[in-house]
Amino acid sequence: MSAYVSVDVAFEDPEAILEALKELGFTTVEVHDTPQQLMGYSGDLRQQRANIIVRRRHIGHSSNDMGFIKGEDGKYSLYISDYDRNAVPGKLGLKGYAAFEGKLKQTYAMSKIKKQAAKERWSFKMDQAKGGKLTIRLSKFQ
C-alpha cells in the first residue's frame, strides 16, 4: 500500500550516534557505560555528565566538552554548552543551533536506516538532493 508515514527520530542507538558524529567530523569520541563528567574550556570539571563524549580539544580552541547522556527511558540527550551552541554550528558551516540539531538528527536517521537496511537485507541507495535533503531508496527483492 502506498505510504506517507512521518517517523519520530530519537537518539536511542549509540552506534548510530557515533556514526552521525563521525559523519559530522567528530571522529574521536569516548564511550562510557557510566556517565563521566564533562570538562570546561579551561580543564575544569563540570557538573554535567555524559556516556558519549566529544572532548573539547576535538571541537575547537575555546570549546567545552559536549556529550550524550543516556536517560532512564533509554534515550540519549545531547548536552552542549551555551558557547558551543553557537561555535559548533559555525564550525560545520551551519547557521544556528537549530540547523545543527536538525543536521545531527538527519545524519543519525541516515545511519540508523543504513544499519536497519543491512540487518533486514533491504537494498539501500542514497541521493543527496539540493538543499541538503537526503533521499534513501529502500527495496526488498523477493
In the complex, the residues that contact other proteins under the rule CB under 8 A are 1-10, 12, 98-99, 101-106, 108-110, 112-113, 116, 120, 122, 131-142
Q: Do residues 57 and 71 make contact, with C-beta atoms less than 8 angstroms apart?
A: no
By C-beta, is 39 or 99 nearer to other proteins? 99
Cβ proximity to other proteins, 1 vs 72, nearer residue: 1
Nearer to other proteins, 39 or 138 (CB): 138
Give least dist CB 20 to other proteins, A. 11
Complex with other proteins: residue 45 or 126, whichever CB lies closer: 126
Tell me how far, at minimum, the Cβ of 97 lies from other proteins, in Å: 12
CB of 8 to other proteins, least distance (A): 4
Q: Report residue 108: phi and psi, to 5°.
A: -60, -45
Tell me how long the chain is.
Answer: 142
CA dist., res. 139 & res. 88, Å (int) = 36
CA–CA dist 69, 44 (Å, integer)? 19
Q: How far apart are CA 113 and CA 116, in angstroms?
A: 5
